[in-house]
Amino acid sequence: MSIVIIAPTRDGQIWKNELLELDNSLDIEIYPNVKNPENVNCAILWLHPYGCLKQFSNLKLICSMGAGVDHILNDPELPEIPVTRIVSDTISTSMSNYVIMAVLQHHRMMEKFEVDQNNKVWDQATFPEREVKIGILGLGVLGSDVATKLVHLGFEVHGLSKSRKNIEGVTSHIEDDPGGFFREINVLVCLLPMTEETRGYLSHSLFNRLEKPCYLISVGRGFQQKEVDILEALDNGKLNGAFIDVFEVEPLPESSPLWDHPKVKLTPHNASITNPKAAVPIIYDNYRRMVEGRDVIHEVSKSKGY
Ligand code: NDP
């Protein structure tokens, strides 16, 4: 029995070392250096080359290295075995802190006060807080954590998900009947998973439903947004600014007008990077469960796509 790590964009050795610290009897190989593919029964993946899994004929478990699983579920040759993801307080805390940072700098009008500082302007007459009503697309593990924390900070928070949620202080709307979600909000946070339904979600058809100009915070996945539409919405006033972490093409090409758009702040898809120290114990727990024939945890639904 052995484990393979297939993560061309990450340092697999760090993940291997963390696993060996938990259990030094593990047999772990880093793709593509796999001597006996037929011995592999667990694959730990991040952006694996599609098709490569078929060489592991005894694979029983696939573990995503992060919270997202679209990179795995989109593999057209994915074997019919459980796929798990990382659910951890450290991922939720990083994501919530990122979204709160983006909300607060908008709420406290930091773009104005940065200009004032550059011009040595002391403006105490302007009331320094914008009223914000926040709408969160996706009230899953990450969306519900940030929603709860924003409520504790005193903000009005609405959430949109497939099923209705009961989160203290948060007004829950469902996708089939979004009701007041689009009417009330002036900050829109996207924390949806990447599925066929959410592909291109942040586009004109959504922005046209917003009744007030909105500040967009996009932290789900790049393919959920149409950047051409975001740029147009920034120009026509449907959006009054955007804080973006994920992009249709990553790394964001130098030619993208988003880089120097005056109403855009952006980061290089690092809102919440999985910390191997936090993720590896979850993967190891699931590995033990698989070996002992117990149910794995944090399994994703292939039919739902998340
Ligand atoms: P979850 O699977 O826990 O939650 C997804 C939520 O989205 C659920 O509430 C679900 O509704 C809702 N949802 C799904 N489809 C729709 C739809 N079509 N319309 C409305 N609501 C929908 O995911 P997480 O919260 O853990 O993570 C969300 C995403 O964040 C990840 O998939 C990943 O892509 C992204 N991410 C980004 C990171 C970054 O650094 N930028 C880091 C980590 C994650 P219901 O509950 O009813 O099923």
Q: What is the DSSP string of the chain?
A: -EEEEE-TTS-HHHHHHHHHHH-TT--EEETT--S-GGGEEEEEESSPPTTGGGG-TT--EEEESSS--HHHHT-TT--SS-EE----HHHHHHHHHHHHHHHHHHHTTHHHHHHHHHTT----SS------EEEEE--SHHHHHHHHHHHHTT-EEEEEESS----TTEEEEETTB-TTHHHH-SEEEE-----TTTTT-BSHHHHTT-SS-EEEEE-S-GGGB-HHHHHHHHHHTSEEEEEE---SSSSPPTT-TTTT-TTEEE-SS-TTPPPHHHHHHHHHHHHHHHHHTPPPSSBPPTTTT-
Question: pLDDT at residue 305 above 90?
Answer: yes
> Same domain, yes or no, for 130 and 151?
yes
Straight-line distance from the first to the last Cα atom of the chain, in angstroms, rounded to the nearest whole number: 28
> Same domain, yes or no, for 104 and 220?
yes
Which band of pLDDT confidence, cut at 50, 70 and 90, is reported for residue 19? very high
> Same domain, yes or no, for 77 and 184?
no
229 inside domain: yes
Contacts of 117 (CB under 8 A, 6+ apart): none
For the residues 252-264, what does the mean pLDDT come to? 98
Q: Kindly report the average pLDDT of the chain as a whole number.
A: 97
Rounded to whole angstroms, what are the CA distances from 305 to 193, 224, 225?
8, 14, 18
> Same domain, yes or no, for 217 and 287?
no
For the residues 36-60, what does the mean pLDDT come to? 97
Which band of pLDDT confidence, cut at 50, 70 and 90, is reported for residue 199? very high
Structure tokens belonging to residue 215 = 């500040």
> Same domain, yes or no, for 204 and 122?
yes
16 inside domain: yes
> Same domain, yes or no, for 166 and 257?
yes
> Same domain, yes or no, for 160 and 199?
yes
> Same domain, yes or no, for 78 and 212?
no
Question: pLDDT at residue 266 above 90?
Answer: yes
- State the distance from the centre of ligand 1 to the C-alpha of 29, rounded, in angstroms: 31
pLDDT at res. 240: 97
Question: pLDDT at residue 253 above 90?
Answer: yes
Number of domains in the chain: 2
> Same domain, yes or no, for 101 and 195?
yes
Q: CA angle 182-143-184, nearest 5°?
A: 20
pLDDT at res. 59: 98
Which position among 10, 107, 158, 221 bears the catalytic label? 221
pLDDT at res. 176: 87
For the residues 271-284, what does the mean pLDDT come to? 96
> Same domain, yes or no, for 64 and 50?
yes
Q: Is 221 a catalytic residue?
A: yes
- State the distance from the centre of ligand 1 to the C-alpha of 166, rounded, in angstroms: 17
> Same domain, yes or no, for 99 and 147?
yes
For the residues 34-60, what does the mean pLDDT come to? 97
Q: Is 71 a catalytic residue?
A: no
* CATH for 228: 3.40.50.720
Write phi, then psi, for 94 (nearest 5 degrees). Answer: -60, -45
- Give the residue carrying structure tokens 């290089």: 268
pLDDT at res. 168: 98
Contacts of 36 (CB under 8 A, 6+ apart): 2
Question: pLDDT at residue 177 above 90?
Answer: no
Parent domain of 80:
2-88+274-291
pTM equals 0.96
Which band of pLDDT confidence, cut at 50, 70 and 90, is reported for residue 179? confident
| Any atom of ligand 1 within 6 Å of the Cβ of 188 | no
128 inside domain: yes
Atom index in ligand 1 nearest the CA of residue 140 equals: 4
- State the distance from the centre of ligand 1 to the C-alpha of 39, rounded, in angstroms: 34
Question: pLDDT at residue 197 above 90?
Answer: yes
302 inside domain: no
Per residue in 55-100, pLDDT tens? Answer: 999 999 999 999 999 999 999 999 999 999 999 999 999 999 999 9
Which band of pLDDT confidence, cut at 50, 70 and 90, is reported for residue 224? very high
300 inside domain: no
Which band of pLDDT confidence, cut at 50, 70 and 90, is reported for residue 174? very high
